[in-house]
Chains A and B, each alone.
Chain A
Amino acid sequence: MKPSTRRMKVRDEREGSPWTGLGAVLTKEMADHLTGVRMLILEMLVLLTAVGTIYTALQTIRPGSNDEFLYLRLFTTAQDPLPAFVFFLAILVPLIAIALSFDSINGEFNRRTLSRILAQPVYRDALLMGKFLGGLLTLTMVFSAIWLLIFGIGILRLGVPPTAEETGRALWFLLGTIFYGGIWMALALLFSTVFRSPATAALASIAVWAFFIFFWNIVVGVIAPLLGPKQITTLDQLVAAGQMQMILTRISPITLYADIATIMLQPTERFLGFVLPVQLDRAIQAPLPLAQSVLVIWPQLTGLIAATILLFALAYVLFQRQEIRA
């Protein structure tokens, strides 16, 4: 009893702000990312896919056609053999996020800088948070630049300025993209505290990524029927089974991101997930106003944030307990 109460007391009485030194760590991390070769390679990669897909999309998008959402088409139009830019984003954003943070903590450890840094008047909280925010801000900067580039190309080639509605939707999608990056970054950060070797941390992160990209839908296809009744006889059961499947697929951040992309970039989409033909009939094919679309993806956005916080908290707990000696 006694030691545990004492430890609680220590926690409560911890002096000063846990974020002392956060600014210093954040600046250092961002400077490292922005000047590093690693970031340069990643930037080139995104830039190439962005320019490539936008260029091919522009082949099919006719300026002056009575499409309301020309600019959003830039993100979603695919032309053989190249998939749309959103597709690339769903795949590349996790890789970039992982690449930025798979060696955050174990890298410091292996360079033997960790004990020296933690001997300065800062808490481990500030170090971990600074690393996470540094990565996330870098990600934000890169993708904001890409968005600007896409809109710039659009203005040049389409000849019409984007509408407020389009800009708003693109910005919400940008926000979704950053949160989507955040969850992978938190995952890689977690692995970087768990595994002493950065290579292992990177591999573990990529294994999770590959699992969700390639296998999750298969897994859901196998387990969803097991959770429901053996024989579907009523409509209610059919709906329940369909909904169960939807819930399971949404465990994957990729599904959540795909939902956000669908609703934000294709305003005529009004429903997510399992829809019965009866319901569909009632759905008019008119685009949904932006505010309504935001409401539809709200659970997805908050889901991404919640998962990110959860992963970060786990990394935090593990890091607090870690022995820092070499």
Chain B
Amino acid sequence: MNDLVLETRGLTKRYGDFTAVDHLDLSVRRGEVFGLLGPNGAGKTTTILMLLGLTEPTEGEVNVLGFDPARQPLSVKKRVGYMPDQVGFYDDLTARENLFYIAKLNGIPRDQIKRRVEEAIERVRLSEVIDKRVGAFSRGMRQRLGLADVLIKNPQLIIMDEPTQGLDPELAHEFLSLIHSLKEEGTTILLSSHLLHQVQAICDRVGLFSRGRMVLQGTVPELARKVLGGAYRIQLETEGSAAKFRKALEGLQDVNAVTVKDGRIIVEAQKDIRADAAEAVVKAGGRLRGLSVESQSLDDIYTRYFEEAKHETVN
């Protein structure tokens, strides 16, 4: 129990008749990076706002670091850093002045403020522009300043709404490695994103959101197993007709499905059974030309899941 940093039970938010978040059960463990995924309007931002006590839930319970954000918002906000999807700053103040204000709002003792601000700015590598007006900052600099802003209070949990939105690939990568280093230090991170490969790269677990519901939750291989039926896809290229090896491959353990496409055999399996597959082909009298395995990408899972969902609603 104690290693749960965040837990919601039956969390619901309605705007009139419209249900933005529908009986959400979410749990995030200490030290993990959790990714919230879902199409636009799925309810990610609404969920995040409720976690911080910035919007009142219609129903359900929330527990963040042992506090209820609706009743103990100050305790929650003291420990949780939040980076909104659109970070804004006072453009006519410098980076330092902007962070000073945040530090003061957090009640950080006067004699520590200067050091804490400088450390946070250093951390996101903005020390050179610390006394420049934020109005002159680029998108990437603002985003990094947003992270510094969160780091000032030494949060135990950081919640980021689409942190890499609008960043170029290099900056996004840099940002992700910053997030990764925070995780190494033991900070728990919850982030929402649309950029699947990024989420896959840094998230320990992901939750798939659709129309206010959490439809899937788990590690990427777990999701792959659920959605694609197999976490591994093994491709075999053989000499001669591929079709005749099909039977042999289907007989193997842990195999979910075998398909033949463009002369190649694709084996969907729960484990990496490359060796077994090769043996089976050889035993059946075939010759192997190529053998490769691809682990499932979140992209495939996402596309497949929402395709199926669409299919179901159409039928």
Bound together? yes
Q: Are A15 and B75 in contact (CB under 8 A)?
A: yes
**A 163-198 to B, binary, CB cutoff 8 A, 1 in contact else 0:** 000000000000000000000000000000000000
Q: Are A112 and B84 in contact (CB under 8 A)?
A: yes
Q: How many residues of A contact B (CB 8 A)?
A: 28
| Stretch in A88-96, A119-127, A266-274, A302-310 touching the partner | A119-127
Q: Are A119 and B77 in contact (CB under 8 A)?
A: yes
For A123, what are the chain B residues with a Cβ–Cβ distance below 8 Å?
73-74
Give the interface centre of A23, A111, A112, A120 by most chain B CB atoms within 10 Å.
Answer: A120
Q: Are B54 and A15 in contact (CB under 8 A)?
A: no
| Cα–Cα distance between A323 and B16 once the two chains are bound (Å) | 14
Q: Name the distance in Å between A27's Cβ and chain B's nearest Cβ.
A: 8
Interface residues of A in 97-124 (CB under 8 A from B): 111-113, 115-123
Q: Which listed residue (B70, B86, B105) contacts A122, Cβ 8 A?
A: B105
Q: Name the distance in Å between B88's Cβ and chain A's nearest Cβ.
A: 3
Q: Which listed residue (A13, A112, A119, A122) contacts B82, Cβ 8 A?
A: A119
Q: Are B77 and A113 in contact (CB under 8 A)?
A: no
| Cα–Cα distance between A27 and B85 once the two chains are bound (Å) | 28
Q: Which listed residue (B71, B73, B89, B105) contacts A21, Cβ 8 A?
A: B105
For A278, what are the chain B residues with a Cβ–Cβ distance below 8 Å?
none
For A14, what are the chain B residues with a Cβ–Cβ distance below 8 Å?
71, 73
Q: Name the distance in Å between B193's Cβ and chain A's nearest Cβ.
A: 17
| Cα–Cα distance between A16 and B105 once the two chains are bound (Å) | 14
Q: Are A119 and B54 in contact (CB under 8 A)?
A: yes
Interface size class of B (residues with CB under 8 A): 20 to 34
B173 at the interface (CB under 8 A from A): no
Q: Name the distance in Å between B173's Cβ and chain A's nearest Cβ.
A: 25
For A275, what are the chain B residues with a Cβ–Cβ distance below 8 Å?
none
For B71, what are the chain A residues with a Cβ–Cβ distance below 8 Å?
10, 13-15
A326 at the interface (CB under 8 A from B): yes
Q: Which listed residue (A16, A20, A28, A119) contacts B84, Cβ 8 A?
A: A119
Given A15-B71, A20-B74, A325-B49, verify A112-B106 contact (CB < 8 Å): no
For B84, what are the chain A residues with a Cβ–Cβ distance below 8 Å?
112, 115-116, 119, 326
| Cα–Cα distance between A10 and B62 once the two chains are bound (Å) | 14
Q: Are A325 and B45 in contact (CB under 8 A)?
A: yes
Chain B residue nearest in CB terms to A20: B74
Given A10-B70, A115-B54, verify A24-B104 contact (CB < 8 Å): yes
A239 at the interface (CB under 8 A from B): no
Given A13-B71, A15-B72, A324-B54, verify A117-B105 contact (CB < 8 Å): yes
Chain B residues within 8 Å of A, Cβ to Cβ: 45, 49, 52, 54-55, 70-75, 77-78, 80-82, 84-91, 101-102, 104-107, 146, 149, 153
Q: Show 14 A/B contacts (Cβ-Cβ < 8 Å), sorted by A.
A: A14-B73, A16-B74, A21-B107, A24-B104, A111-B89, A111-B90, A113-B88, A115-B54, A115-B82, A117-B102, A119-B82, A120-B77, A120-B102, A122-B105
Given contacts A28-B101, A116-B146, 17 further A-B contacts (CB under 8 A): A10-B71, A14-B73, A15-B75, A20-B74, A20-B107, A111-B88, A111-B90, A112-B87, A115-B82, A115-B84, A119-B77, A119-B80, A119-B84, A122-B74, A122-B105, A325-B55, A326-B86
